[in-house]
Amino acid sequence: MYLSQTTDPDPVPDAPTVPAPIKVDVWSDIACPWCYIGKRKFETALDDTGIAVEIEYHAYELAPDLPEEFEGSEQDYLEIRGYSADEVQPLLARLAGAAKAVGLDFDYDILRHTNMVKGHQLIRWAHSKGRQLDMVERLLAAHFEEGRHVGRDEELADLAAEIGLDRVEALAALAENRYLRDVRAEERRAKELGIRGVPYYVFDNTYGVSGAQDPSVFADILRQLSGRKEVS
């Protein structure tokens, strides 16, 4: 009697270890043109590298003293912020050109300045719904390209609804200032980190990068950090 010989199956190789996404904390203001421009440059770096990241936005107000209803033009606003009358138009032309280079269409003729604390609260609320990045993008576009009033509760709730979030819930959160404490905590954290301007990027709680850097700068940092994760 012959017994068939059985053999062990080929061992299954271990699945490759996938490095954890790189955490990127971004301090930003809705009113900051370089924050929007920097966002596009950072997104280009992500597309170029294909490296996985986890992005979280944090509040930073450039003009916390501004009223909700600011009566004045962009010229008026910038003169209040310390620019001379002769400096304003060249500055706006430079900003519009930098925006155009990354596919954005800033319209300073219709832009409406306002206090941004409610907008930052909306961003925190959207974060609780898993939609923070969509909300940041919608607010920036509304402010710089569409002339929307991003300081009023009703208008902000409309913007939340436009990305598929519950308008009534958004409006209630804003009316109650439900996320004001979170916004203030983020601003305090910015001071603790020595952040004096935005955009400001913190990679894996290790590297801090200020400004709307060239995509290659962001890409180099991402590759370095990704390489370290793969080695470890």
- Quote the number of domains for the chain: 1
Query: What pLDDT, on a 0 to 100 scale, did the predictor assign at position 177?
Result: 98
211 within some domain? yes
Task: Indicate which CATH number applies to the domain containing 181.
Answer: 3.40.30.10
116 within some domain? yes
Query: What pLDDT, on a 0 to 100 scale, did the predictor assign at position 231?
Result: 65
Query: Is residue 211 a contact partner of residue 198, using CB atoms and an 8 Å limit?
Result: no
195 within some domain? yes
What average pLDDT does the structure give for the chain? 93
Burial 22-49 (b: 16+ CB within 10 A, else e): bebbbbbbbbbbbbbbbbbbbbbbbeeb
Query: What pLDDT, on a 0 to 100 scale, did the predictor assign at position 13?
Result: 57
For the segment 33-60, what is each residue's pLDDT rounded down to a tens digit? Answer: 999 999 999 999 999 999 999 999 999 9
Q: Quick one: DSSP state of residue 208?
A: E
94 within some domain? yes
26 within some domain? no
193 within some domain? yes
202 within some domain? yes
Question: What's the whole-model pTM score?
Answer: 0.91
Please list the ranges in the chain whose pLDDT falls under 50. Answer: 1-8
37 within some domain? yes
Continuous H helices in 56-116: 74-80, 85-101
Domain of 158? 31-231
